[in-house]
Amino acid sequence: MKVLQYIALSICLFLSFQVKAQEEISLKSADTTKAIINPNAPAKAAFYSALVPGLGQAYNKKYWKIPLVYAGLGAGIYYYTWNQKKYHEFRDEYKRRLDGTYDPNHPIYGDLDNDRLVRAQKFHQRNRDLSALITAFIYILNIVDANIDGHLMQFNVNDNLSIKPDMNQNQIDYKFNYGMTLTLNF
């Protein structure tokens, strides 16, 4: 009978205390906020970059790319104008030779024959056209880069999803096994 009283007393004591086995965690709205995706952001960045080169990169907050864009465009335009100037110089000298009004004692063109003048014209014309194509390519690359950066800014790249190289030692022959580990945390 004494044992029964002891058990009844123990049960009453345990039931009288309020005990929690685990802490309750309440979610705050800051923990569960959803990232807002703007589907027009890549198109807007591309439009800005087409309007003013580098403005799309500034819109995407990739400020370090702006000097690269202007350096590429500036170099292309510089070489275009330099080759254009040299092309016109050689062409004008060739025209003067055909008219018979050239100076045979000219320090630059005096020793050149007509064939060399024609080859120099073609050389600078080809380089001028190539400079124009490279400048156009850099301009288009500027627009595409702004568009791609606008798309990539919307991807979730946090530590909840990660791919890491993995190296495990085999317990049988103690050789290393190499692979990739895909980790997805919820």
pLDDT mean values, one per 10 residues, the chain (186 residues): 71 57 56 66 93 94 95 97 96 91 84 91 97 97 95 73 71 78 62
Reading the block at residue 52, the tokens are 């003013």
Residue 165: strand, helix, or coil:
strand
The answer to whether position 146 is within a domain reads yes
The answer to whether position 13 is within a domain reads no
What's the confidence (pLDDT) of residue 148?
Answer: 94
Residues in CB range of 51: below 8 A, 6 or more apart: none
What's the confidence (pLDDT) of residue 155?
Answer: 77
User: In a 10 Å sphere around its CB, with 0-12 CB exposed, 13-18 middle and 19+ buried, how is residue 138 labelled?
Assistant: buried
What's the confidence (pLDDT) of residue 156?
Answer: 67
Q: How many domains in the chain?
A: 1
What's the confidence (pLDDT) of residue 147?
Answer: 95
The whole-angstrom separation of Cα 116 and Cα 108 is: 12
The answer to whether position 51 is within a domain reads yes
- Domain of residue 130 covers 39-153
